[in-house]
């Protein structure tokens, strides 16, 4: 059995750890509230814009616009992988990395074998781990989190669009955690380029039969609207990931705090048992000494 001094030291260390995890949980809860509000406000706009782009696919005639919708022979692929800069958030980062490796091994195995899969990593944890595994990792935008600026997201979008238009990549896919609530993150991967057709209801199809009116002209408007839609999808994914990170960290720290409490209970019980044994031993020694003197 450990000595009382060792147990007291472990109790002190556990209390300090519990205070840290409790503080981290409160910080994450505060950040989560702000991040979740941002993604809730952003999501309807992003989804509506994405739907408009899909609905306009058949009306695209200009070559400058059709490039965004053309399905090419997929030879070169860009995966935009969104993780966090810090750990202590459970399986948040591990799940994204696992999904990325699975996509490369199964969906893009042929392209990876030819050396034509590039990972654009947003977040240090994913970039560092995937780079150790010898993947082709672009770290130019690795540190745009956790302070997320829309301009940074749009800068990444401009880079991705330019590479896609110039033929550097034939397909661009996002891998990230979609925020549902504090306890649930939905691991998601979705192709953002080329722009994919969405499934719509019969009522929506009927509504789409109406001819669109463009002012000043269709090409000029869509030249601005289509890239903005793609950049908005990247920004939405980054907001989703940020809110998911804070939710995962809050839950993880809450569980760690509970575990520390259970550990403290066991340590205090062990300390009391050790203290009681020491007292009993001392009493026995005193009684034995008295008996020896009397004898």
Question: What number is the average pLDDT over the span 149-163?
Answer: 91
Domain holding 106: CATH number? 3.40.1380.10
Question: What number is the average pLDDT over the span 198-224?
Answer: 61
Domain assignment present for 269: no
Rounded Cα gap, residues 127 and 168, in angstroms: 21
pLDDT higher at 278 or 253: 253
Q: Which of 46, 77, 78, 89 is catalytic?
A: 89
Domain assignment present for 15: no
- Per DSSP (E only), the strands in 156-291 are 171-181, 184-193
Q: Tell me, what's the pLDDT at 59?
A: 61
**Cis peptide preceding 185, ω within 30 of 0:** no
Domain assignment present for 6: no
- Strands 117-122, 184-193: pairing is unpaired
Q: What tokens does 84 get?
A: 């966090």
pLDDT at 70 over 90: no
Domain assignment present for 57: yes
Mean pLDDT score of the chain, rounded to an integer? 87
The predicted model scores a pTM of 0.85
pLDDT at 200 over 50: no
Chain segment 219-263, per-residue pLDDT in tens: 777 788 889 989 999 999 999 999 999 999 999 999 999 999 999
pLDDT at 208 over 60: no
Rounded Cα gap, residues 34 and 147, in angstroms: 12
CA atoms within 13 A on the CB side of 56: 24
Q: Tell me, what's the pLDDT at 284?
A: 87
| Residue with token string 């780079």 | 131
Q: Tell me, what's the pLDDT at 32?
A: 93
Domain assignment present for 286: no
Question: What number is the average pLDDT over the span 15-36?
Answer: 94
What is the strand order of the sheet 77-82 is part of?
Answer: 137-138, 117-122, 77-82, 171-181, 184-193
Alpha helix (H) residue ranges in 133-217: 150-165, 202-208
Domain assignment present for 89: yes
Domain assignment present for 42: yes
Q: Tell me, what's the pLDDT at 55?
A: 65
Per the structure, the complete domain to which residue 178 belongs is given by: 21-197+211-253
Domain assignment present for 245: yes
Determine whether 89 is an active site residue.
Answer: yes
Rounded Cα gap, residues 123 and 2, in angstroms: 43
Q: Name the β-bridge partners of 179.
A: 185
Give the chain's domain count. 1
Closest CA to 131 of 189, 76, 81: 81
Residue 201 binned pLDDT confidence (cut-offs 50, 70, 90): very low
């Amino acid at each position: 059995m450990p000595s009382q001094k060792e147990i007291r030291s472990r109790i002190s260390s556990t209390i300090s750890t519990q205070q840290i995890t409790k503080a981290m949980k409160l910080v994450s809860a505060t950040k989560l509230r702000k991040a979740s509000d941002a993604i809730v406000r952003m999501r309807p706009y992003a989804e509506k814009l994405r739907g408009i782009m899909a609905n306009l696919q058949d009306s695209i005639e200009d070559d400058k616009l059709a490039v965004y919708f053309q399905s090419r022979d997929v030879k070169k692929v860009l995966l935009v992988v969104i993780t966090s800069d810090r750990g202590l958030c459970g399986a948040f980062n591990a799940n994204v990395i696992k999904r990325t490796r699975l996509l490369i091994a199964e969906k893009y195995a042929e392209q990876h074998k030819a050396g034509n899969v590039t990972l654009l990593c947003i977040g240090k944890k994913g970039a560092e781990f995937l780079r150790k595994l010898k993947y082709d990792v672009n770290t130019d935008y690795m540190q745009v989190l956790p302070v997320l600026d829309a301009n940074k997201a749009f800068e990444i979008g401009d880079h991705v669009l330019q590479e896609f238009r110039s033929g550097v990549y034939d397909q661009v896919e996002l891998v990230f955690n979609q925020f549902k609530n504090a306890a649930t993150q939905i691991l998601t991967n979705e192709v953002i380029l080329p722009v994919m057709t969405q499934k719509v209801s019969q009522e929506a199809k009927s509504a789409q039969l109406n001819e669109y009116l463009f002012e000043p002209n269709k090409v000029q408007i869509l030249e601005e609207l289509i890239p903005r839609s793609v950049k908005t999808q990247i920004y939405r994914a980054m907001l989703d990931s940020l809110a998911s990170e804070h939710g995962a960290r809050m839950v993880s720290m809450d569980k760690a705090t509970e575990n520390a409490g259970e550990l403290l209970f066991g340590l205090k019980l062990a300390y009391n048992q050790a203290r009681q044994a020491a007292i009993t031993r001392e009493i026995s020694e005193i009684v034995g000494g008295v008996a020896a003197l009397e004898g």
